[in-house]
Amino acid sequence: MSLAYFRKQLMPLEEANVSIATHALNYGTGCFEGIRGYYNESTNTLQVVKLTEHYQRFLRSCRIMRIDPGYTVDELCRITIDLLQKNSTRTDVYIRPLAFKADPVIKVTLEGIQDEVGIFTVPLGDYLPTTGIHVMVSSWRRLEDNAIPSRAKVTGSYVNTALAVADAHLAGFDDAVFLSENGHVAEGSAANLFIVRDGMLITTPGTENILEGITRNIVMELANDLEIPVQVRPIDRTELYVADELFLVGTGVQIAPISRIDHRIVGSGTAGPITVKLQRIYFDASRGLIPQYLQWLTPVTYDARKE
């Protein structure tokens, strides 16, 4: 039985339910996070990646949406560690904190509505293949920051993602890449995007309607350590077709090389050398195997006697 944190206590996940009249269910007025924990069998430890940074972004999203979660970053980290220990899932896990407008009211506003927080965890392996995916440039545009805040992880904004991903899957692709209304590349459906041109790593700026990704920051830190030059600048659609390497990054997708885009082969058609190098370090570091990057991780140790 999996436990969830809801209404200020731990309870069975199947009992952590809301009414169909809940504001957030009707109007998408919630914020969430997606956090990964990687299980290391030899040490019986779950390594949670960038826990503090995820909760910092969670509170920034809540601020934009005028949601008061009622917890500090430290409190949310402590609750999450406790939940993981109680669940003691001996697999890689995905942690989903959610803060939302909870009252059962027919009133489209953000004011005067009670907020609630819930956290649950699910076992999760690869969200997308990590050996090479085929993506399409979506005909859906990435939501504009002045319509729905793109740097906040708002539940309702994932309608945008769902429309693009559903069309991509129906057309036989693995995932979609969004352009913004200005025609520049924004990001993947639920991931940031990097291209490699002439040995240079390029990613789109925070002002291109992206979610400011934590994995994107990790990749830039790794590139810096490997002395790979990084440019943060707008990317044109056709740069995707001439890039030497192309990959998506995010907590869910991890580092997912793109081997084909819109029926065009990327580079040699397999994950390129820079992508592979970053991916290898990312996976090893996330499992706590690289001392230099242990500061990314919050270790959660399980009681060895408990099943």
Catalytic annotation, residues: 153
**Cβ nearer to ligand PLP, comparing 113 with 189:** 189
Chain centroid to Cα 129, Å, comes to 16
Question: Does 149 contact ligand PLP by CB under 6 A?
Answer: no
Question: Does 208 contact ligand PLP by CB under 6 A?
Answer: no
Provide, rounded to whole angstroms, the least separation between the CB of residue 250 and ligand PLP: 3
Query: Which residue stretch of 9-17, 210-218, 263-271, 290-298 sits at the interface with ligand PLP (rule: CB under 6 A)?
Result: 210-218
The DSSP bridge pattern shows strands 115-123 and 3-6 to be antiparallel
Question: Does 257 contact ligand PLP by CB under 6 A?
Answer: no
Query: Which residue stretch of 117-125, 206-214, 271-279, 294-302 sits at the interface with ligand PLP (rule: CB under 6 A)?
Result: 206-214
Question: Does 65 contact ligand PLP by CB under 6 A?
Answer: no
Q: Pick one of 76, 137, 214, 300: the residue that binds ligand PLP (CB under 6 A).
A: 214
Query: Can you list the positions of beta strands (E) in the chain?
Result: 3-6, 9-12, 30-32, 35-40, 45-49, 93-101, 115-123, 133-141, 175-179, 185-188, 192-197, 200-203, 230-232, 245-250, 254-261, 264-265, 297-301
Nearest to 173 by CA among 263, 267, 252: 263
Provide, rounded to whole angstroms, the least separation between the CB of residue 54 and ligand PLP: 7
Q: What is the DSSP string of 123-172?
A: E---SS-SS-EEEEEEEEEPPPTTTS-TTS-BGGGHHHHHHHHHHHHHTT
Provide, rounded to whole angstroms, the least separation between the CB of residue 162 and ligand PLP: 11
Residue 37 CA to residue 286 CA, distance in Å, equals: 8
Taking each helix axis from N to C terminus, what angle separates 214-225 and 51-64, rounded to the nearest 10 degrees?
140
Query: Which residues, 6 or more positions from 25, have their beta carbon under 8 angstroms from its beta carbon?
Result: 18
The residues with which 100 forms a beta bridge, in sequence order, are: 30, 116
Assigned token pair, 33: 């996070």
Residue 112 CA to residue 109 CA, distance in Å, equals: 8
Query: Which residue stretch of 76-84, 115-123, 200-208, 244-252 sits at the interface with ligand PLP (rule: CB under 6 A)?
Result: 244-252
Subset of 32-51 contacting ligand PLP (CB under 6 A): 34
Question: Does 165 contact ligand PLP by CB under 6 A?
Answer: no
Identify whether the C-beta of residue 203 lies closer than 8 Å to the C-beta of residue 213: no
Q: Pick one of 22, 155, 203, 251: the residue that binds ligand PLP (CB under 6 A).
A: 251
Q: Pick one of 215, 254, 275, 286: the residue that binds ligand PLP (CB under 6 A).
A: 215
Question: Does 135 contact ligand PLP by CB under 6 A?
Answer: no
**Cβ nearer to ligand PLP, comparing 250 with 288:** 250
Q: Pick one of 30, 213, 267, 272: the residue that binds ligand PLP (CB under 6 A).
A: 213
Question: Does 61 contact ligand PLP by CB under 6 A?
Answer: no
The DSSP bridge pattern shows strands 93-101 and 45-49 to be unpaired
Question: Does 267 contact ligand PLP by CB under 6 A?
Answer: no
**Cβ nearer to ligand PLP, comparing 23 with 54:** 54
**Cβ nearer to ligand PLP, comparing 113 with 153:** 153
Query: Which residues, 6 or more positions from 90, have their beta carbon under 8 angstroms from its beta carbon?
Result: 39, 41, 44, 302
**Cβ nearer to ligand PLP, comparing 101 with 216:** 216
- List residues binding ligand PLP (CB under 6 A): 34, 187, 190-192, 211, 213-216, 250-252
